[in-house]
Copies of this chain bind each other. A is one copy, B any other.
Amino acid sequence: MPRVSDVKKRLTDAALDLMWENSYGTTSVDAICERAGAKKGSFYYFFKSKSELTAAALEAEWNKNKANMDALFSPTIPPLERFDRYFDHVHDRLAGLQHECGSILGCPLLSIGSEVSTQDKIVRDTVDRILDRKIKYFESAIRDAHAQGLIEAPDPQAKAKTLFACYHGTLAQARIQNDLELLRNFKEIAMDVLGAKPAAITST
């Protein structure tokens, strides 16, 4: 069979699925292997440790999503509409996952990151790095919106941090309360936080 193997990918996929739905701590290497249809030997052939697998899984997830993020936050789209589309997209994705597993799962970076941050440097640094990349999309959309006079944001980085925190806080609450509704109208909350006049979003 060998030559090229997709076990590595199957392992990172399985790990992310299980950790996102449950948690880092309750996801055992055995369970990851079972879902990936791999044996433990293969696991430790490809990865040094559970931490490293997790870091790889998060990076892989990021790479899967990057193209999509680039499209959603394309400079060809009016800046505030980018947020609209992004929040809709995440909402729909989480709704789909809820259909599969019965729970609102929130953001894996936040749940996993917050769980391991004081104990696992490898995973923590990975989460940190990816969050930094994500926030850049917010920042440039906000800068564009400010330049077009749609919002007042002389410090786009600060505004991006605020909106980012607000969104992730909402995602965390949605997970804890298993309530998708909190995300349904986040668009409006975002516009409120950004200080956009309703008229700036759609022509009224």
Contacts and interface: CB of A to CB of B under 8 A. Distances in A.
A23 B193 CA distance: 31
A119 B106 CA distance: 14
* Chain multiplicity (copies): 2
Given A25-B23, A162-B166, A166-B165, A103 B117 contact: yes
Nearest to A168: B169
Interface string A174-196: 01111000100000010011010
Contacts of A195: 195
Contacts of A131: 173, 176-177
Given A166-B169, A169-B164, A193-B193, A175 B23 contact: no
Nearest to A119: B22
Contacts of A169: 164-170, 172
A173 B165 contact: yes
Nearest to A114: B111
20 contacts: A23-B115, A23-B118, A23-B119, A24-B25, A25-B25, A26-B119, A101-B118, A111-B115, A113-B172, A113-B176, A114-B115, A114-B172, A117-B176, A124-B176, A127-B176, A128-B176, A162-B189, A165-B169, A165-B170, A166-B169
